[in-house]
């Protein structure tokens, strides 16, 4: 019986180590993919295809954010908000396709200026 228990214990330990290794691997892969994504974002789009891909990613991200904001609203306002979000998405996708056809076309819906600072400064008066 001792032999049976020790072989079961060793199997359990081996299984736990294997599962632990599998769980650690995706986080390392995710960190590498996140770093690669940041590196890709640091490179400006130069070809019409690159600008098109960025525009459709932006349109999809904008739709996702807008729909999340709409879901926080009361039910009476939600339908109209979702309708506006989807129509904005359709317009953004049409503009992205136009950018693909016309290489001289620029980005769509540029709002605001560059980020000046990411630090919050608080003035404490005495």
As given in the structure block, the two tokens for residue 73 are: 């609203």
Q: What residues contact 86, with CB distance under 8 A and at least 6 apart?
A: 63
> Residue 104 to residues 46, 47, 97, 101, 123: CA-CA distances in angstroms?
11, 10, 13, 9, 46
CB 85 within 8 A of CB 111: no
Please give the distance of CA 32 from its chain centroid, rounded to a whole number: 15
Q: Taking a C-beta distance cutoff of 8 angstroms, is the pair 59, 93 a contact? A: yes
Distance, CA of 51 to CA of 103 (rounded, Å): 9
Q: Is the pLDDT of residue 66 over 80?
A: yes
pTM of the entire structure?
0.53
Question: Which residues, including other chains, have CB under 8 Å from residue 107's CB and lie 6 or more apart?
Answer: 51, 55, 99
% of the chain residues with pLDDT over 70 = 60
Location of structure tokens 């770093």: 35
Distance of CA 92 to the CA centre of its chain: 18
pLDDT above 60: residue 1: no
Place of tokens 């008066």: 125
pLDDT tens across 68-103, in order? 999 999 988 999 999 999 999 999 999 888 888 887
């Amino acid at each position: 019986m001792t032999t049976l228990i020790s072989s079961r214990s060793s199997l359990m330990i081996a299984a736990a180590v294997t599962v632990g290794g599998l769980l650690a691997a995706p986080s390392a892969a995710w960190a590498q993919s996140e770093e690669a994504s940041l590196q890709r974002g640091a490179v400006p789009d130069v070809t019409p295809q690159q600008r098109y891909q960025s525009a459709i990613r932006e349109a999809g991200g904008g739709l996702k954010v807008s729909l999340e904001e709409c879901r926080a609203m009361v039910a009476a306002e939600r339908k109209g908000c979702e309708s506006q979000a989807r129509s904005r998405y359709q317009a953004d996708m049409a503009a992205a396709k136009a950018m693909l056809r016309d290489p001289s076309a620029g980005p769509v819906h540029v709002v605001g200026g560059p980020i000046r600072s990411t630090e919050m400064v608080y003035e404490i008066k005495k």
